[in-house]
Amino acid sequence: MIPPLGELFCGIRKNPGAPEYGFVYLMLLSTMIPSLVNLVIGGMSWFRGLPPINNLLLRSMPARQAPPCADRTWMACVLSGPIVLGGILGIAAQFALVYVMFWHVFPLFHDSLLGLARRVAAADIPLWLLAPFLR
C-alpha cells in the first residue's frame, strides 16, 4: 500500500526530524548502496589495473616457486591495497556527487528537495506512462 504522499510531505515539512519519517530517510540512503558498491569496484579495478603496479609484481614474483618470505608482506599489501584505495575512492566520489547535487545543482531549480518531490508525486508519472496499457 502506498501511503498518502500529500500527508507525508506536509508532515515532513512540519517536523522533518520526527521518528515516524525515519523510514523515508532510510529508504533514500539505502538506494545509494548499489551505487557505492559499483564505485568501490570501479575504483578497485582502476587501481589494480595501473601498469607500474602490474609490472612491479610480475618482476618480483618467481614463475615456478613461492616468493621469498621477505617479499610476501609487501606483495600482499600491493595486491590488497587496491581494495582499500578503491573503497576510499568510491566513498569520496559518492560524497562529492551528493555535495555537488545538493549545493550546486538543486539551488539552480530554486526549489527545495521536498518541493521537487511534491511536484514529481503530483505529476503521477507512472500512471501517466501506464495509462495507455490499462485501457
Q: Report residue 88 as a C-alpha cell.
A: 576510499
pTM given for the model: 0.55
User: Which amino acid belongs to residue 14?
Assistant: K
Whether the predicted pLDDT of 45 surpasses 70: yes
pLDDT in tens, 47-75: 888 898 889 888 888 888 888 898 899 99
For the segment 71-116, what is each residue's pLDDT rounded down to a tens digit?
A: 899 999 988 888 888 888 888 888 898 888 878 877 776 667 777 7
